[in-house]
Amino acid sequence: MCTILAIESSCDDTGASLIHNRKILSNVVSGQKIHERYGGVVPELASRAHQGNIMPVIDSALEIAGVKKEALDAIAFTQGPGLLGSLLVGVSFAKGLALALNKPLIAIDHLSAHLAAHFINEPTPKFPFLCLLVSGGHTLLVKMDSETKYEIIGRTTDDAAGEAFDKAAKVLDLPYPGGPLVDKYAKDGNPLAYPFPEPNIPGLDFSFSGLKTSFLYFIRDNMAKDSDFVNKNMADICASYQHRIVEYLLHRLEKAAKEYNINEIGIAGGVAANTYLRKKIQEKALEKNWHIYIPSFEYCTDNAAMVAMAAHFKYLNKDFAGQDVTAYARYGG
């Protein structure tokens, strides 16, 4: 029997969640509108906003769950990677609360949390399990052998898929965050209207820098011919660019599934909320006889419920952190 409070503050969303014996009791997230005017997350503003949001978010999560903080068995937090200033707010608060309540700390890697999102709701994956983790900061292929044991078998060599979406949105002069808007406009467009090149690098790794450059030149050259090109063709542009990214992701996923002979397949991360990706992987699952697992929308973007689930597994293994634990901005420290 264990009840854990989990805190998420890796970027610009402040989250808190309560989990009791593997059941999520509450999941509260507070966003930060201030970054919209700058077209992207401003780290200093993000950390300041976390300081103002963290207490109300945690209080709300405890109230919704009907749990007193004294009844907690552990305090979990996202240790990294992420924006260091933002992470430090969550880490410092968790350490202080754990010290005050005399409760153990559980440090959670952001990647582990996204993977753990698959175990919140039934059905859950069987092992070995292959996950495509795609977000604004990560594009990874991960082979899981248990809830806590995994191996990264493919990763981006430059930019992440989510960044490729957001940068294209910026070129199209769409407001931040642009990725969801590309998805929205693409629903009314022809995904085959404009053929963008698929990146080609060896193995199971990804690369998006060339695709972003190709998109930039495509818009520049067509705008030179017709200054209203983007406005007149927004839906087709978004649909075609989105199609190329999604097809590229699925081609790599299919290659990994074949290479490792795995048919338990999932997607995770913020880009896993993309409706076209969700649709296309379901089509691919029928074609390849995959058993697919896609977390609910609320568990794809940054949230504390996925941190709580990852913490649950660590708690069972008595994998606790000391008060000397620190945040890290990138993998490897």
pLDDT at 333 over 50: no
Q: What is the mean pLDDT of the chain?
A: 94
Look at the domain 122-294 and name its fold: Nucleotidyltransferase; domain 5 (3.30.420)
Query: What's the one-letter identity of residue 215?
Result: F
Q: How would residue 37 be classed by pLDDT, with cut points 50, 70 and 90? A: low
What ranges do the domains of the chain cover? 3-115+300-316, 122-294
> pLDDT tens for residues 82-102?
999 999 999 999 999 999 999
Least confident of 37-46, 127-136, 175-184: 37-46
The fold for domain 3-115+300-316 equals: Nucleotidyltransferase; domain 5 (3.30.420)
Question: By CB neighbour count within 10 A (0-12 exposed, 13-18 middle, 19+ buried), where does 87 fall?
Answer: buried
Spatial distance between the Cα atoms of 67 and 101, rounded to a whole number of angstroms: 14
Distance (Å, rounded) from C-alpha 8 to C-alpha 2? 19
Same fold, 3-115+300-316 and 122-294: yes
Pairing of strands 23-30, 14-20: antiparallel
Give the pLDDT confidence of 271-294 residue by residue, as tens digits.
Answer: 999 999 999 999 999 999 999 999
Per-residue pLDDT tens over the stretch 215-266: 999 999 999 999 999 999 999 999 999 999 999 999 999 999 999 999 999 9
Residue 43 has pLDDT above 90, yes or no: no
